[in-house]
A and B are shown apart, each in its own frame.
Chain A
Amino acid sequence: MKSNDDLFQEIKQVLDSQRLAVMATERDGHPYTSLMAFAHTADLTTIVVATGRATRKHMNLLGESRVSLLIDTRTNSESDFHAAAAVTVIGNASEIEDGEREKYSALYLSHHPYLEKFLQSPSTAMFIIRVRHYLIVNRFQHVMELHLTDEMDIFT
């Protein structure tokens, strides 16, 4: 049986290998997706994203903290169908409080040093996403879940 650790490592490998995630937010029941630079903590409990305060996604996040992200290893080639892995993240986003800003800025910039100016701008908001569940798909249709909470239903 796959241990927690094996699955954890599989998911971590996908996250480590990628710079961008697709994030789904929601307004009035309407889903909305955006491509986001992201960074993650080594224990996979937290994902950091940043967004301009004037954006729709920012407004959406203020209205509904529940989000989902997709991070995958596709190369836009045929081989994706047997070789690509995709991780779906289910979690809750909250704006980073001042006391934690420095720690998460460092994490974010270690992944994306070229975004320093963007991150430091007063018009940019940083969010952390507390992950509740990971789902990983590989071998085309093999799906495993890693739950960081004991909820049975990922949509609670």
Chain B
Amino acid sequence: MKWISSLDNDSADTVALLGGKAFALVRIQRAGFTVPESACLTTAAYEHFLEVNGLREKIQIELSRKDFNDMRWEEIWDTSLRIRHLFLSTPVPVDLVTEITEYFSSSLGLKELAVRSSAPDEDQSGSSFAGLHASYLNVTGIEQLLLHIRKVWASLWSDKALLYRQELKLSVSTSSMAIVIQKLVHSDTAGVAFTRDPLREDRMVVEAIYGLNQGLVDGEIEPDRWFIDRKSLQVVEHVQMAERKYELAVGEEGVSLVELDAGKKETSPLTALQLTALTKSMVALEHSFGQPVDIEWTWAGEMFYVLQVRPITAAVSGDNKDQRAWYLSLHRSYANLLILRESIENHMLPAMESEAVMMSGRDPKLLDNDELAAEIRYRMERSSHWSKVYWDDCIPFAHGVRLFGEIYNDLMEPDDPYQFVGLLCGEQMLSTARNSMLQQLAEMLRSSPENLAVVKSAGYSAVTDKNFKEKFAELENRFGNFFTGEMENEQDRDDLIIRVILEYSRLQDERPAAGMREGQKRQEQEKAFLQRVREANSKFDGEKLLSLARASYRLRDDDNIYLGRIEQQLALAVTEGRRRITDIGDSQLQITTPDEIARLLDGEEVLLHGPASQENITPMSTVSLVRARQLTGQPASRGVARGKARVIAAPAEMADFQIGEVLIVESVDPNMTFLAPLAAGIVEKRGGMLIHGAIIAREYGIPCVTGVSQVTSYITTGDMVTVDGYLGIITVDKT
């Protein structure tokens, strides 16, 4: 099979060989339109690359690490990142390099090329999945061309594609990717045209911007929009979507946003004459393709080019349960992330902080029953309000880390696809600041053996040291009590923290967070990255991007702690409420909801549900026959550790944690990360490289494996476990 097709008018190559986009280019030429000078790297070239390098099985192993149905969206992103890294770190076979070099040196030239995905399945599936695969503009030189070819190939396995794998029938054995390589057109005006408005059958839609079309396709630039009557071909309406500010222009390497000159800002990107010509072309192309189409077009001087034509297909809607659209919306643009950051740092977090402080000023113990019921309801409402804000703003903001990771990997081409995390961690995080305070308190105890002995036997009430008491109060003030809601009595809660501090006091030496230890290394990495951003003429400002990514990484942890403080205030009020209700059995009272407690306080009759409604994650005692020997997950922090397992099912159990144990948990809650300095390793059922357990483990340089299905069911406290943070494996020795 041929690796390169010249896409001539009389080409007989199939869509399976050329992919949808390249196949359409042949049809567009036959319809009498000009397309940019193009060639196609066929699916046979992709297959050759896979075959020679034995990549099929490597992709298969990545894809079958875990059942897709058990994967969270973050884990799918991780899988995609690893596959992409596999492609980028694998060379294009020499025979293919020779053919590409010879062909493009003589025909298109190796300068200013556009490298676009052309998947055979993408446009055939009956649904449109815009933006699944990658395209790159202004690629120059054979090295860059080969790199971008591999990036486009890898995008067959993008996280979006994996999310829609069933609809796409994505499979290692049958899916393939061709690539359109074109001479880049320096366009003055470009846009997208729909010969039928997806929302109204009687209209056409034209969208236009100044500069390169990618600005519109990527959603970075708001277009001017025209609605045109399909019968009369007259303009019905012209809408300027937003102020015209920028255009995407060809830079030295890649493309960059450039501010429009004053004249362009005031003038619509299409003249009336151009619009009429475009409308006629739309009619002709719809006729030629035999169905309504969407068209990417561009004008360079007097020349009109058609870049791409596809049938208009129904957008993927999905039912209400389909959360994938929401997941996809998490892919935020750089500009959008900057706005989110401003709002989170300057408005949201301070507001959460002041609300928590205000709540802590109203002691539930001092309220009468009616007031307490009202207070519980108020705190419930605030807690659910902030929780919604958290989902709407904070989780999408975490995408800043992903955006940074992708840009970093593209520019730096590191051996380890998670090297970028080294640049982000080590920031002063609330959790590491809190752990430092715990270490200081432990040091105070350790320096006075008699004090230590007294506290050990009698708990917090035996503390006489004024400095210690002040520091302890400061800890609770700043971070709340990690055991809030577990114990009714404040004294008991303080004793639990004392147990944690006593365990900290047994640490041989202070364990500083890794970022602090490796400051020098981090500085060098930062310098190298910033220099590369400048050299590459990236459209990003390296320092601003890094600052955004660090904020995103830090807030991933911190925002949860802020939310945790509000939830703690709710828990305090609920605990007080439970204490006052004396006419209901303890076991039933434990499972009442905050709302039920409030109603009971109001004197209402409440029908309580049985304990069956409570989630139970304790191991099934009936299963003595099945044991796990090796469980696999994702390696999230490097290293190997062996130790006794400590499975934490309820917050109060955190106080039992001993130095050198391996923390095994459904998901590490940020309020739980104080265990990290004590732990030999962390194993989490929840998956992802950027979840709290993984972040804190990397901070302290301890091994961590995440995404281990059912780990809390298979491992019990006391089992000896080995955590392999290089390969993502937990080995269990039952005792």
Chain A residues within CB distance 8 Å of chain B: 1-4, 7, 78-79, 81-83, 135, 137, 139-148, 150, 152
Contacts and interface: CB of A to CB of B under 8 A. Distances in A.
Q: Which 6 residue pairs spanning A and B have beta carbons closest together?
A: A143-B630, A1-B713, A143-B629, A78-B57, A82-B60, A82-B64
B61 A144 contact: no
Nearest to B623: A4
Contacts of A142: 630-632
Contacts of A2: 626, 710
A82 B55 CA distance: 13
B60 A79 contact: yes
A141 B727 contact: yes
Contacts of B734: 152
Interface string B54-97: 10110011011110000000000000000000000000000000
A99 B57 CA distance: 50
Contacts of B620: 1
Interface string B710-733: 100110000000000001010000
Nearest to B54: A78
B60 A1 contact: no
Given A141-B727, A142-B631, A152-B734, A1 B714 contact: yes
Contacts of A7: 626
Interface in B626-664: 626-632
Contacts of B447: none
A61 to B, nearest CB: 27
A147 B628 CA distance: 11
Given A82-B64, A141-B727, 19 more contacts: A1-B620, A1-B623, A2-B710, A4-B625, A4-B626, A78-B56, A82-B57, A82-B63, A83-B60, A140-B65, A140-B632, A141-B630, A142-B632, A143-B628, A144-B627, A144-B628, A144-B629, A147-B624, A152-B734
B271 interface: no
19 contacts: A1-B619, A1-B710, A2-B710, A4-B626, A78-B57, A81-B57, A81-B60, A82-B57, A83-B64, A137-B630, A139-B65, A141-B632, A141-B729, A143-B631, A144-B627, A145-B628, A145-B629, A147-B624, A152-B735
Contact of A3 (B60, B623, B630, B631): B623
Contacts of B57: 78-79, 81-82
B514 to A, nearest CB: 27
Contacts of B65: 139-140
Contact of A145 (B60, B64, B626, B735): B626
Nearest to A152: B734
B632 to A, nearest CB: 5
Contact of B629 (A3, A135, A148, A150): A135
A91 to B, nearest CB: 15
B732 to A, nearest CB: 9
A146 B623 CA distance: 10
B21 to A, nearest CB: 31
Contact of B64 (A1, A139, A143): A139
A81 B623 contact: no
A82 B61 contact: yes
Contacts of A81: 57, 60-61
A147 B631 contact: no
A78 B631 CA distance: 23
A78 B61 CA distance: 10
A144 B620 CA distance: 16
Interface residues of B, number: 28
B623 A145 contact: no
Contacts of B627: 144-145, 147
Contacts of A143: 628-631
A19 B418 CA distance: 45
A116 to B, nearest CB: 36
A144 B54 contact: no
Contacts of B61: 81-82, 140
Given A78-B54, A79-B60, A81-B60, A148 B625 contact: yes
Contact of B632 (A139, A148, A152): A139
Nearest to A136: B629
A122 B61 CA distance: 49
Contacts of B630: 137, 141-143
A70 B735 CA distance: 25
A82 B173 CA distance: 13
B49 to A, nearest CB: 16
A143 B57 CA distance: 20
A146 B620 CA distance: 15
B626 A3 contact: yes
B624 A150 contact: yes
Interface in B19-77: 54, 56-57, 60-61, 63-66
B74 to A, nearest CB: 20
Contacts of A144: 626-629
Contacts of B56: 78
Query: Which residue, B54, B626, B734, has most C-beta atoms of chain A within 10 A?
Result: B626
A146 B625 contact: yes
A4 B627 CA distance: 10
Contacts of B63: 82
Contacts of B632: 139-142
Contacts of B623: 1, 3-4
A143 B56 CA distance: 24
Contacts of B60: 79, 81-83
Contacts of B54: 78
B685 to A, nearest CB: 12
B125 to A, nearest CB: 25
Residue among B66, B629, B727 with the highest chain A CB neighbour number at 10 A? B629
B67 to A, nearest CB: 9
Contacts of A141: 630, 632, 727, 729
A144 B711 CA distance: 12
Contacts of A1: 619-620, 623, 710, 713-714
A152 B629 CA distance: 12
Contacts of A3: 623, 626
Contacts of B710: 1-2
A83 B619 CA distance: 29
Nearest to B65: A139
Nearest to A5: B626
Contacts of A78: 54, 56-57
Contacts of B727: 141
A7 B629 CA distance: 13
A147 B625 contact: yes
Interface in B679-735: 710, 713-714, 727, 729, 734-735
Nearest to A149: B625
Contacts of B626: 2-4, 7, 144-147
Interface centre among B57, B627, B734 (most CB of A within 10 A): B627
A86 to B, nearest CB: 12
